[in-house]
Amino acid sequence: MNPATVQELIWAGVLVALAAFWPMMSNGYWLGIGVDVMMYTALATSWMLFSGPTHYISLASAAFFGVGGFVVGSGMSDYDASFWSMLALSAVIGGVLAALIGLATLRLSGVYFVIFTLGLAEMIRNLVSWVQNNFLGSRGLYVLTEFTDAHLYWMLLLTAGCVYLLGWIISRSRLGFALRIIGGDETVARHVGINTAMAKVILFTTTGVFGAIVGAIIAPRWSYIEPNQVFSPQLSFFVVIMALLGGSGRLWGPVVGVIPFLLIWNWVDSNFPNQSILVLGVAFLVIVYFLPHGFVGRIEQLRARARGR
Amino acid sequence: MKQAGAVLSVKNITKRFGGLVAVSNMSFDVAEHEMVGIIGPNGSGKTTMINMISGVFAPTDGRISLRGRLISDAAPQIIAREGVGRTFQLVRLLPGLSVLENVMAGAVYGHKRRWGREAEDFAHSVLERVGMDAMSHAPVSSLTYIDQKRVELARTLAGEPKVLLLDEWLAGLNPTELETGIELIHNLRNEGRTIVMVEHVMDAIRSLCDRCVVMSSGAKIADGTTDDVLSDQDVIRAYLGDDDA
């Protein structure tokens, strides 16, 4: 991932400002899509902070997201806690969980890392279900708030904006440069003096924090929370596909992947509900065969060609 | 044996991989501004020795110290920050980064930590020294082999190491490239750098090294000035077998 420019930050700021008007121009179906877009933009961008430069594909998004939703659900339902305090708590738990996973997976790379994160997310889902059924009562968790879809949209937009800003700062820092070196050759990274373990754990932790925050914010939308729903592994795959479809070369890559993917997904899901999973497969094929560097890679290729002429 | 002013000191180093003894009870010192060659037949443990100094793995036994500070149980990044820089037997560049960024990587996290404009300027100056500044914005995939090696050397120099480890830096070069390569290392030597080089190219060893440590089957069999060592009976036997000695 290349360092982001000041120009990119200004564009991002303009886009966030414009996006804030969406709830005033839409409602119902389109506002719902807007919430989805913001949710996945925040998730995919925070996924990119770690996986973009290092090329470590994490399938643990659902674990962090689920922890966020579950903490909010459990806190509000069982302990009468406020939404805001649970939002803060879920960020902390998500961060600690990510740091632990990061420390546990330091020696893994490539496909081993992918499988390990997927397995771990599944393990956490089952563990939470088990705790829920045996100790917290199986009455289900209700998240009842006054929030409308528009409120959730704005909160997610703010989160996505924060993720972008953090990513922008990191990409221009020594830490960001260290991650690109790690992505290139971890042996070299160590021999030029980079504490690779520290750099990877820090970045993976930010991914966990934001995953949990997004999960917490989206919880009120469901009203009723059940572990199998918030820890769905499908979410982890969605995040990866959208980020790769957009392209991992730039920090704004995920946005251009999230929007077309969700539009197509929603259209297929409402018209051909039984074939929706097919979209996932086709998306994978399209990425592998036609867009190995995502839309970003294609856009930059076209731009370079135009400049060459 | 230990001389005053030794920058790098290797004491009774042994490395076992399971039952295999790769390096056995090696000791040698490297003084400041000295250029020491580690030579020996294939499989004699030279690269293992370099890997232990740079921290790729810890020795089973013994001590390695840099200016009196023990480094043999430290991680590679700590050793790099203490001031040991190395190149790799098979050149290792960072493929997604430009030539300049590859060299900056060496300048940013070493024992002098530069950043931003300062790191960039310094990287340019090091690239100029190895004769590669004109290529600083090229992608590394477009470089020839000798140029890749020069960039890797520049990355290591950018960390301003107190001790520079060159692991067969001249291997795989054609005759003209070899000339360029030897001249480049000769310049480093004239700058007064402290260098340890593992090498097979005898011409280079004769013209570059003040001293040589000879290894055979993991053990040291000779240590002395290059001329003395290369005419030593044990050394000739190790390389050529008993009949020719």
Q: Note whether A174 contacts B: Cβ–Cβ < 8 A.
A: yes
Boundaries of domain holding B213: 1-83+173-245
Position A131 in a domain = yes
pLDDT tens readout for residues A113-161: 999 999 999 999 899 888 888 877 666 788 888 888 899 999 999 999 9
Q: B-contacting residues of A 39-78, CB under 8 Å?
A: none
How many domains is chain A built from?
A: 1
Residue after which a domain boundary falls, among B134, B161, B188? B161
Position A242 in a domain = no
Confidence of residue B110 (pLDDT cuts 50, 70, 90): confident
Provide, as residue numbers in chain A, all residues whose Cβ is less than 8 Å from the Cβ of B92.
Answer: 185, 187-188
Same domain, B10 and B79: yes
B244: pLDDT strictly greater than 70: no
B157: pLDDT strictly greater than 90: yes
Same domain, B218 and B153: no
Chain-chain contact of B77 with A178 (C-beta, under 8 angstroms): no
Same domain, B2 and B120: no
Same domain, B56 and B1: yes
Q: Could you give the percent of chain A with pLDDT greater than 90?
A: 49
Q: Which of A242-251, A278-287, B99-108 has the highest mean pLDDT?
A: B99-108
Q: Among positive and negative, which fits the CA dihedral B108, B112, B115, B121?
A: negative
Position B155 in a domain = yes
Provide, as residue numbers in chain B, all residues whose Cβ is less than 8 Å from the Cβ of A174.
Answer: 108-109, 113, 115
Work out the average pLDDT over A207-229: 90
pLDDT tens readout for residues A30-45: 999 999 999 999 999 9
* CA pair distance B129, B123, nearest whole angstrom: 10
Position B149 in a domain = yes
Chain-chain contact of A177 with B81 (C-beta, under 8 angstroms): no
Closest partner residue to B54 (CB to CB) among A178, A183, A191 is: A191
Chain-chain contact of A193 with B94 (C-beta, under 8 angstroms): no
Q: Note whether A107 contacts B: Cβ–Cβ < 8 A.
A: no
* CA pair distance A64, A207, nearest whole angstrom: 8
Q: A-contacting residues of B 137-176, CB under 8 Å?
A: 155, 159
Same domain, B146 and B195: no
> What is the model's pLDDT at position A131?
84
Position A110 in a domain = yes
pLDDT tens readout for residues A91-105: 999 999 999 999 988
CA distance B163 to chain A (A): 13
Q: Distances in Å between the alpha carbon of A217 and those of A79, A155, A223? A: 18, 7, 12
Position A71 in a domain = yes
B12: pLDDT strictly greater than 80: yes
| CATH value at residue B64 | 3.40.50.300
Q: pLDDT averaged over chain B?
A: 90
- Cβ atoms B184, B190 nearer than 8 A: no
Closest partner residue to A192 (CB to CB) among B96, B109, B115 is: B109
> What is the model's pLDDT at position B2?
44
Q: Could you give the percent of chain B with pLDDT greater than 70?
A: 97
Nearest residue in chain B measured CA to CA from A185: B94
Chain-chain contact of B96 with A183 (C-beta, under 8 angstroms): yes
Residue after which a domain boundary falls, among B107, B138, B161? B161
Closest partner residue to A193 (CB to CB) among B88, B109, B115 is: B109
Q: Note whether A38 contacts B: Cβ–Cβ < 8 A.
A: no
Position B186 in a domain = yes
* CA pair distance B68, B83, nearest whole angstrom: 13
CA distance B26 to chain A (A): 23
Q: Note whether A195 contacts B: Cβ–Cβ < 8 A.
A: yes
Same domain, B179 and B62: yes
The pairing of strands B195-198 and B35-39 is parallel
Q: Note whether B92 contacts A: Cβ–Cβ < 8 A.
A: yes
Same domain, B18 and B73: yes
Same domain, B232 and B114: no
Higher pLDDT, A279 or B189: B189
- Cβ atoms B136, B113 nearer than 8 A: no
A271: pLDDT strictly greater than 90: no
Q: Note whether B58 contacts A: Cβ–Cβ < 8 A.
A: no
Higher pLDDT, A303 or A309: A303
Please give the full DSSP string across B64-130, using - where no structure is assigned. EEETTEE-TTS-HHHHHHHTEEE--SS----TTSBHHHHHHHHHHSSSS---THHHHHHHHHHHHHT
A217: pLDDT strictly greater than 90: yes
Provide, as residue numbers in chain B, all residues whose Cβ is less than 8 Å from the Cβ of A184.
Answer: 93-97
Closest partner residue to B77 (CB to CB) among A180, A185, A194 is: A194
Position B207 in a domain = yes
How many domains is chain B built from?
A: 2
* Angle at A224 (CA atoms; ends A220, A230), nearest 5 degrees: 80
Same domain, B68 and B4: yes
B166: pLDDT strictly greater than 60: yes
Q: Could you give the percent of chain B with pLDDT greater than 90?
A: 65
- Cβ atoms B63, B128 nearer than 8 A: no
B1: pLDDT strictly greater than 70: no
B167: pLDDT strictly greater than 90: yes
* CA pair distance A76, A83, nearest whole angstrom: 7
Same domain, B11 and B75: yes
Q: Note whether B95 contacts A: Cβ–Cβ < 8 A.
A: yes
Nearest residue in chain B measured CA to CA from A178: B105
> What is the model's pLDDT at position B164?
95
> What is the model's pLDDT at position A272?
83
Provide, as residue numbers in chain A, all residues whose Cβ is less than 8 Å from the Cβ of B95.
Answer: 184-185
The helix/strand/coil state of B49 is helix
* CA pair distance B22, A199, nearest whole angstrom: 33
* CA pair distance A116, B10, nearest whole angstrom: 40
Boundaries of domain holding A197: 6-231
ipTM above 0.95, yes or no: no
Higher pLDDT, B58 or B237: B58
> What is the model's pLDDT at position B3?
47
Please give the full DSSP string across chain A, using - where no structure is assigned. -PPPPHHHHHHHHHHHHHHTTHHHH--HHHHHHHHHHHHHHHHHHHHHHHHHHH------HHHHHHHHHHHHHHHHHHS---HHHHHHHHHHHHHHHHHHHHHHTTT--HHHHHHHHHHHHHHHHHHHHHHHHHTS-SS-EE---S--HHHHHHHHHHHHHHHHHHHHHHHTSHHHHHHHHHHH-HHHHHHTT--HHHHHHHHHHHHHHHHHHHHHHHHHHHSEE-HHHHT-HHHHHHHHHHHHHH-SSSTTHHHHHHHHHHHHHHHHHHH-GGGHHHHHHHHHHHHHHT-TTHHHHHHHHHHHHHHH-
Rg (CA), chain B: 18
Q: Distances in Å between the alpha carbon of B53 and those of A43, A124, B42, B231? A: 43, 42, 19, 28
Residue after which a domain boundary falls, among B111, B136, B161? B161
Q: Could you give the percent of chain A with pLDDT greater than 70?
A: 98
* CA pair distance B130, B146, nearest whole angstrom: 11
Same domain, B119 and B232: no
* CA pair distance A213, A97, nearest whole angstrom: 13
Work out the average pLDDT over A291-299: 84
* CA pair distance B47, B43, nearest whole angstrom: 9
Position B233 in a domain = yes
Of B24, B36, B27, B30, the residue nearest B5 (C-alpha)? B30
Q: pLDDT averaged over chain A?
A: 89
Work out the average pLDDT over A265-282: 83
Q: Read off the pTM.
A: 0.89
Chain-chain contact of A188 with B105 (C-beta, under 8 angstroms): yes
Work out the average pLDDT over A198-209: 94
Contacts of A230 (CB under 8 A, 6+ apart): A62, A65, A66, A68, A69, A70, A73, A215, A219, A222
Closest partner residue to A192 (CB to CB) among B95, B96, B106 is: B106
CA distance A173 to chain B (A): 9
